[in-house]
Amino acid sequence: MKLSRLHVLLVSLILSSLSLPAADKPNIIVVLVDDMGWGNLGCYGGVVETPNIDRLATQGVRFNQFYNAGRCCPTRASLLTGLSPHEAGVGHMTFKRTGKTPSSIPERMQLPYAYRGWLGDAVPTLPEMLRTAGYGTYMVGKWHVGNSDPATWPKQRGFDRYYGFLEGTSDYFKPNDLHRDNERIEPSGERYYTTDAFTTEAIQFLRNHRARPDKSPFFLYLAYNAPHFPLQAMPEDFAKYRGRFKEGWDVMREKILARQKQLGLLPADTPLAPRPGASTKLGSEGGPVPAWDSLTAEQKDAMDAIMATYAGMIDRVDQNVGKLVAHLRESGELDRTLIFLLSDNGAEAESPPLGIFKLENLGRYGSGEKQYGRAWATCSNTPFREYKHYMHQGGIQTPLIVHWPAAIPAARQNRILTQYGFLPDITATCLDVAGATRPATMKDQPVPASDGRSLQALLRGADAPVHPQQSICVEHEGNRMIRDGQWKLVGFYNEPWELFDIEADRSEARNLAAQHPEIVERLSRAYDAWAKRAGVRSWTEAQKYSVYAKPNK
């Protein structure tokens, strides 16, 4: 049988990666930001100045149809295992720490595995698998996939070193859950700020790794908590953006969309999702987003200030990405380092449209406020519908930048890749380039097969789909979606499916369910089959297992 050029390329890549000695394998860095919308970065049309991240994009590639898992810890569970969050044990959220011996964990052991709330100990993590291929493994930042039992912490789940916090959120100036390896510590140094501290620690880990005599490659997982609430910016970053947002979200959304089209991120006929009206799905937070021109001068000034805080937090991430890249360049490691940068979910709208904050607390060191509100979240997610929690584009479409000078051809750099993919593909790519394998069993239990597909051939120049003839599915709190070719079937909890030709309708403006009932039926059956395999329960049942409620045995 005659092999196609793509098949030959795939086979050669697999054989070459398996035969590489450890010293010749690429380093791998995954940079994850928190609650950042698709339309915030400069290279995705946004108004925040991100020159360092933009440079990674122009010297690498950008994806314009890549999906996360819609919320903080489900995304982390999927990224760290290459499985669905449910198969990893985090089908809802991470079980909260009790502050004492985790006597409540035996209760949760009676619950369905998918909803216990920490990474299952019989599921191999990415760093555990990369260790078998000779990698040094390091993590800095927000963990959020196992808090109560130390057995679920980073050091016990495959990382050689760890610095960061274990919970889902933290104060940026005075984190109260800070750990170095397994020891709880206090923040130190003048003008402490988590974004800065995480980068400093990451660079030190890499310096120490380079001193190892074995010349082994490294894997670094750098999980910034910015720009997740609480919104706390360094004063100089706040000052930089103060006054830049007084045009308001209506004008700015139009300008961001125009830039996205100009950059080639979206088809030229992509419409802007309407300014949201009242939403029953968001409860008391779901009031309508007002027109900017309807606000008073005082309201406009306050809204400018809270968005300047959010923008300053992203700007600080960019500054620190620049520091990390500069270190890699100075150490001679940049060309052989594969870097991924993405967001864990879309912008969050867990507060009323105009946010929750006091103006006087913004822009001061050691201070900040809670949330910037649904109105600015809508702007951050331009041009998409919905937010964090949901499976519509605003909730799960992430910017994804991949930078790898040694492998991405010059002719492919600065390309927008239109193939769709999702988190398990990143895990699969890391294993592929490292020559690592997923074990068939762990602790005498079978390990689920991953639906992820390696992106390596695509990065090197192939143009085939990542998921030909394969659907991908995501679920969170009853919100669900299945992507299959041009079609995306998506639904809110306890509401009918909506069908979109997502290739032609990126902003999900035209629901075609009534016109194509046969496609709805076919895809809904495929989703049900996946959900059964992955351990997804109806949210009517699964909400009884919520980490926020007393477990229901």
**Residues designated as active site:** 72, 144
Mode of pairing for the β-strands spanning 161-165 and 136-142? parallel
CB 195 within 8 A of CB 226: yes
The alpha carbon of 407 is separated from its chain's Cα centroid by a whole number of angstroms, namely 24
Q: Which residues have C-beta within 8 Å of that of residue 281, sequence separation ≥ 6?
A: 390, 492, 493
Q: What are phi and psi of 63, to 5 degrees?
A: -100, 140
Burial bucket for residue 262 (CB in 10 Å: 0-12, 13-18, 19+): exposed
Burial bucket for residue 227 (CB in 10 Å: 0-12, 13-18, 19+): buried
CB 369 within 8 A of CB 351: no
DSSP one-letter code for 369: B
Nearest to 95 by CA among 73, 63, 68: 73
Integer Cα distance of 455 and 407 in angstroms: 12
Burial bucket for residue 543 (CB in 10 Å: 0-12, 13-18, 19+): middle
Computed over its alpha carbons, how large is the radius of gyration of the chain?
A: 22
Integer Cα distance of 309 and 239 in angstroms: 9
Integer Cα distance of 186 and 483 in angstroms: 45
Integer Cα distance of 407 and 167 in angstroms: 36
Q: Which residues have C-beta within 8 Å of that of residue 416, sequence separation ≥ 6?
A: 61, 62, 63, 64, 263, 264, 265
- Using the structure block, give the residue that is written with the tokens 């190892």: 212
Nearest to 369 by CA among 171, 236, 187: 171
- Rounded to 10°, the helix 297-330/194-210 angle is 10
Strands (E), 310-414: 337-343, 400-403
- Using the structure block, give the residue that is written with the tokens 């229901």: 552
Rounded to the nearest 10°, the torsion over CA 317, 63, 254, 48 is 10
DSSP one-letter code for 397: B
CB 73 within 8 A of CB 145: yes
451: its two tokens: 């639906």
